[in-house]
Homo-oligomer: A and B are copies of this chain.
């Protein structure tokens, strides 16, 4: 057992009570004694490296997950054989709800960066739920927020112009990073252009060009995955339908 492992296991044993994501995650608004029971049900997990899967499409759904750090994408392979990015999950956001309908996961969940996750086995959940009314309420709320997230994605995909979709995407990303307490105007994009393209329902060249246009407009500054939001105020206005300002040649 090398020192690195010791540190990692130490990390893993941090409890819900001391987790920085507490307010966003299942423990929020749960009583102290209940929290302790939830805490014991949550399993430790070794960190995942970028590209590793939490579960695969078709797997029996055994657990719900929350990432403490590191983002995940959820991906389906559709009947045509093409894969599509269905979801982007930042730390504190529930992962695995795609298995609750049928008992099997409709997506695969893949780490976009090195990530440490908490795991709550379904079996434990079923035991705990009737006993912890606080958890009950909170689970419904958290599932509801996850659904709201999906609705935003539908609203994004409903826009017919690539720039509108990108605007909505960046604005939503900004809000989510804000919630996490990050510097939301200076983001390292969690996905490749190709992943973004899939999430936005366009091809990757269109993503590149759209980012280029928004940069020419002075809204953002992108260099690879480094994104600076230069004018958050106007970004919000653009999302609300304001037309692009004339850009000098």
On chain B, the residues within 8 Å of A97 by CB distance are 144, 147
Which residue of chain B lies nearest to A148 when distances are taken between CB atoms in the complex? B101
In the bound complex, do residue A144 and residue B100 qualify as a contact, i.e. CB atoms below 8 Å apart?
Answer: yes
Closest Cβ–Cβ distance, residue A10 to chain B (whole Å): 34
Interface check A106, CB cutoff 8 A: yes
CB atoms of B147 and A137 under 8 A apart: no
Contact A154-B86, Cβ < 8 Å, known A130-B133, A136-B129: yes
11 residue pairs of the A-B complex, CB under 8 angstroms, read: A79-B239, A80-B239, A80-B241, A97-B144, A98-B151, A126-B137, A147-B150, A150-B154, A157-B158, A158-B201, A160-B201
A137 cross-chain contacts in B, Cβ below 8 A: 126
Among A84, A143, A144, A148, the most chain B Cβ lie within 10 Å of the Cβ of A144
Chain A residues with a Cβ under 8 A of chain B: 76, 78-81, 84, 86, 97-102, 106-107, 126, 129-130, 133, 136-137, 140-141, 143-148, 150-151, 153-155, 157-160, 198, 201-203, 239-241
How far apart are the CA atoms of A130 and B154 in the complex, in Å?
33
Among A157, A158, A241, find the residue whose CB has the most chain B CB atoms closer than 10 A: A158
Q: Given the complex of chains A and B, what is the CA–CA distance between A158 and B74 in angstroms?
A: 14
